[in-house]
Amino acid sequence: MSKEFNNNTIRGPINAFIFKILSGYLDRLFGSAKRVLFKGHPETIVEIGPGTGANMRYLKKGTRLIAIEPNIYMHNNLKKSADRYGIDLEIKSLMGEAIDLPDASYDFVVSTLVLCSVHDPLQCLQQIKRILKPSGVFVFIEHVRARENSVLAFIQNLIHKPWHWFFEGCHTNRDTKQLLESIGFTKLELESYNLYSPFIPIIPQVRGRAIK
């Protein structure tokens, strides 16, 4: 697998713009859950795929954020968000499958709506587990594959190819729940639910905390 992210000169800027303008709406959808998940977070956080910085509003001012963000077209808005919320930002233009951070070095890792898009989600999760300290926490919100033979599953499969192309590798029907359960965390607190919004393919979701 290539360790280089394909920065598309058309879709990259478009997606960066879309996620920036959707920031307020995404806060309405996910804000309450994220405030619970991020509560009491440490001074340093690693975030996989922070995009334009949608999660910074839930972090304490002065937090050091190590951002694993390979899409260079997200970086400008990521820096603006850091300035706005008083976040000490370090950007690493790396894929989640190839994180260059030391083993067992961080207490808190975040991933929200990202594991759908990485090339190898199992390897990405292994990297997350690797960099966590013993008893370190991984918090996540991810959309997942719908129940087999359901209307949502039909829609996910129908729209998968154009969605995958436009959103730069996002899988509408990836079984991320099973992957989280298989990685071998010491404790996994996982809630499955439907979050209804105009974005029908991502209605089925999971959220929670995994402890190394």
In angstroms, how far is CA 148 from the centroid of its own chain? Answer: 24
CA dist 111 and 15 (Å) reads 18
Structure tokens at 211: 């402890």
- Over residues 96-118, the mean pLDDT reads 96
Phi, psi (5° rounding) for residue 139? -110, 145
pLDDT given for residue 6 in this prediction:
82
- Over residues 101-128, the mean pLDDT reads 96
**pLDDT one-digit tens code per residue, 138-162:** 999 999 999 999 999 999 999 999 9
User: Exposure pattern of 164-175 as b/e (b: 16+ CB <10 Å)?
Assistant: beebbebbbbbe
Q: For the whole model, what pTM was predicted?
A: 0.93
Element at 172 (helix H, strand E): none
Please calculate the CA angle 191-138-50 and round it to the nearest 5 degrees. Answer: 100
- Over residues 12-19, the mean pLDDT reads 92
Give the whole-number percent of the chain exceeding pLDDT 90. 94
**pLDDT one-digit tens code per residue, 37-93:** 999 999 999 999 999 999 999 999 999 999 999 999 999 999 999 999 999 999 999
Q: 171 — alpha (psi -120 to 50), left (phi > 0) or beta?
A: beta
**pLDDT one-digit tens code per residue, 177-198:** 999 999 999 999 999 999 999 9
pLDDT given for residue 48 in this prediction:
98
- Cα distances from 16 to residues 11, 56, 156, 170, 210, in angstroms, run 8, 16, 23, 14, 29
| pLDDT at residue 24 greater than cutoff 80 | yes
| pLDDT at residue 1 greater than cutoff 70 | no
